A and B are shown apart, each in its own frame.
Chain A
Amino acid sequence: MTDVTKSDLPAVSSAPRPLRIGAIPTGVWYAMPILALLVFGFLAPMVMVALYSFMPRGSFSPWGTPTLENYVDIVEQNFYISFGWSLWLALLSTALLLVVAYPLAVAIKRAAPKRAVILTVLIVAPLFVAENIRLQGWVLFLDKAGVLDGGLKAMFGVETGSLVTNVPAIVFGIVYVYLPFMLFPMILGLANVPPDVREAAADMGATRWRMFRDIELPLAAPGILIGGLLCFVISLGAFSEAKFLGKGVIVTVAQDIESAFTFGQNWPRGSALSVLVILLAGSAVFIAMRRMDLEKMLGRRG
């Protein structure tokens, strides 16, 4: 028997050879259903909205002569107010969600499995009820002669009056509705924090604040970042909270879009507003992703 050295073997690429059917790799074939869904369900509507945004007012087809009049109108009219409110509500709500959801996520993460399941179910359960119904429930609870006002009056003779029709009520609504969207990515992020590391840090005399700042926060950052981005983007399009709990105290850009597409019958302007919101949300995601190295945070790269 002779020794066979590596150099005697024919050169073989270390990478596995991709399987192919014809000229197309098998993976691409497998991806076809989701690609088709993305093209027809996501990309095509986006393209239609973008095309409509360049159509003149009164167009109900995206194939007319393009114009910038919708964007000019948006700049010339006071749409900055609704954009400003939507942006502010999204930022404020996301910040509040971070503060509210973090302790809850830590509690669920550290709870015994049985208790964690109960907590999770309690948080998920409201998602099975339509958002509008839940918000209407809060209106009936917080409004004048509602459950709270009526209950306090009946029991203690104290009246709260209406606690809706104001901006804090809208913010409350957004935080309430979107809590699960922040909480669950955060829990996944906290799963990246090994208990041993915290224990080691504690043994070495680290304070709770230092453990949070130097250990938990960096390791849980991917989940926190994803939760934050998700909440920011969906809060930017918040509609029902301002409608039901705000009762017209402010107008969000989502309400402007709805008005343009329905009573305004101005599909091109509604589309132009939608494009601007998409760009705003896309920019936020882009900036956040540029500033934070997700791959590194996920531990895939040193």
Chain B
Amino acid sequence: MKMSQFRGYNANRREVMRGLTAGFAAALAGGSPSFAGTGASYADELWAKTKESLSSGGFRMDLNLHSWEGYTEEPVLAPFQQDTGATVNPQMLISDPAAVNNLRGGGTATWDIINLNNAWQRKMLYPEGLILPLDTAKFKPLYDMNVAGFEWPYHWALDETGEKLLGMIQRYGPSGMAVNADAMDPATLETGGYMEMIEGAAGQYGILDYENWVIMHTCMACGFSPFRKHTEAEMETYKEMIFKVFNNAKKVSDDQAALARDMITGEIVGTFPGSVYTVSAPRYEGETQIQCVVPEDGIEETKTADNPKGQAGIIWIEVTSLVANPEPTPLAEAFLIYCHTPEAAYRVAAKAPGTLNPVVQMGDPTVLEKFGSDELEAIQWGDGGAWLEKDVTRCIDFDINPDYDAMHDLYTEAKRSRA
């Protein structure tokens, strides 16, 4: 069914759908469908029961998905479409802020599912009524699959009260810099920090131009968190640093594959910033000299007695939520459940175009065993997940930058000044 065909749905149809959802919830709450398993077994059982509940039909059969690349491709979508008979219309994001404003600008009438980096759901989308909370009873057990650090109750998946579940978490990754280990010793960056790239490799590095990430990592290079209000002195420091970042760069591109190729050919030694998701594709192709490095010595404000080294990188985690679409479809909730089945979770992680990413469900052995050694090598998993965990612990959580507007102005000025 095409999108135009559901625009005419009336209140009766909505009532039918509400009835379907309520019936399913009642069935779960009433205990008639019981669940024997936990973790991945629970996910499989829940998915089987969800498919059964969908078989009666009577609701909109298209699902409109606005998300990062992990969920927009055939290996993930085809089994879901085959199992449910749904037509999934995916649209890939170009940036979190753009997607948020798409929803604000009336996109709730278009989209059923929104997949963004953390923070937006809790701080903007839910308070503004753009997304709906999930059924906690149904989804909470899925958190048993997650790796350490992402267990229930997970901060970024909940609202400010901690009572409403705003979405499901899946792909994540630490972000610092990327380097060709044959051209520059990763240990230099690890111990020396961002300035080893910005000043030490002046004229030899590329900027991976995802604009908000350049801004965030420039703040970290300045020695302060991007995710709080900044003093005038800090803004001045930021200005000086962002101009330096651009003036010292050899090239600027938002094409991570092109920059990876430049690293492989020796055209550049590394990128600022760089993340596991930007190096995983070349690593999967055997170019394991391309690495993501998170500096070990963090910014002062993150140093504590428990963590004296603090944190220097930034970790992102995607949260997938139900859009407050005035004409909802139960397929949206079903899709979230489907993505937690071991095979789908693996595909979300490993079958996106041009990137492989860890998913939190790798905490469940049934999911983890689906990954080949080359795929684990690509995502810098390490022995028992130790490499990835080390980088993750060196990162602060992605959040919203309250000075983003002013910093973006300075970013664009610095970028233009390269000429």
21 contacts between A and B (CB under 8 A): A60-B104, A78-B417, A143-B267, A145-B265, A165-B251, A243-B253, A244-B255, A247-B206, A247-B253, A248-B252, A250-B418, A250-B419, A259-B211, A259-B412, A262-B94, A262-B95, A262-B97, A263-B408, A265-B101, A266-B405, A266-B408
Establish whether residues B267 and A82, one from each chain, have CB atoms under 8 Å apart when the complex forms. no
Establish whether residues A79 and B416, one from each chain, have CB atoms under 8 Å apart when the complex forms. yes
Residues of A within 8 A of B258 (CB): 139, 247
A-B pairs, top 6 by smallest CB distance, nearest first, are A248-B252, A263-B211, A145-B265, A247-B251, A250-B419, A265-B97
Establish whether residues A248 and B104, one from each chain, have CB atoms under 8 Å apart when the complex forms. no
Confirm or deny: B31 has a beta carbon within 8 angstroms of a beta carbon on chain A. no
Confirm or deny: B244 has a beta carbon within 8 angstroms of a beta carbon on chain A. no
* Least distance between A250 CB and chain B CB atoms (Å): 4
Confirm or deny: A249 has a beta carbon within 8 angstroms of a beta carbon on chain B. yes
Main secondary structure of the interface of A (DSSP, over half): loop
User: Which one of A143, A165, A243, A251 lies within 8 Å of B416 (CB-CB)?
Assistant: A251
* Measured CA separation A57–B251 after assembly (Å): 30
Confirm or deny: B415 has a beta carbon within 8 angstroms of a beta carbon on chain A. yes
Confirm or deny: B30 has a beta carbon within 8 angstroms of a beta carbon on chain A. no
Confirm or deny: B288 has a beta carbon within 8 angstroms of a beta carbon on chain A. no
Residues of B within 8 A of A78 (CB): 413, 416-417
User: Which one of A81, A256, A262, A267 lies within 8 Å of B417 (CB-CB)?
Assistant: A81
A residues 235-279 touching B (CB-CB < 8 Å): 243-244, 247-251, 256, 259, 261-267
Establish whether residues A248 and B95, one from each chain, have CB atoms under 8 Å apart when the complex forms. no
* Measured CA separation A145–B261 after assembly (Å): 9
Confirm or deny: B297 has a beta carbon within 8 angstroms of a beta carbon on chain A. no
Beta-carbon nearest neighbor of A264 in chain B: B408
B residues 250-274 touching A (CB-CB < 8 Å): 250-255, 258, 261-262, 265-267
Residues of B within 8 A of A85 (CB): 419
Task: Beyond the given A58-B405, A247-B253, A249-B418, please list 12 additional residue pairs across the A-B interface where CB-CB is below 8 A.
Answer: A60-B105, A73-B409, A77-B412, A77-B413, A247-B258, A248-B252, A248-B418, A250-B419, A262-B94, A262-B97, A263-B98, A265-B98
- A165 and B412 in contact (CB under 8 A), knowing A60-B105, A78-B417? no
* Measured CA separation A78–B418 after assembly (Å): 11
Contact with B along A56-81 (1 / 0, CB 8 A): 01101000000000000100011101
Establish whether residues B412 and A264, one from each chain, have CB atoms under 8 Å apart when the complex forms. yes
- A249 and B419 in contact (CB under 8 A), knowing A139-B258, A263-B212, A266-B405? yes
Residues of B within 8 A of A165 (CB): 250-251
Establish whether residues B101 and A60, one from each chain, have CB atoms under 8 Å apart when the complex forms. yes
Establish whether residues A251 and B415, one from each chain, have CB atoms under 8 Å apart when the complex forms. yes
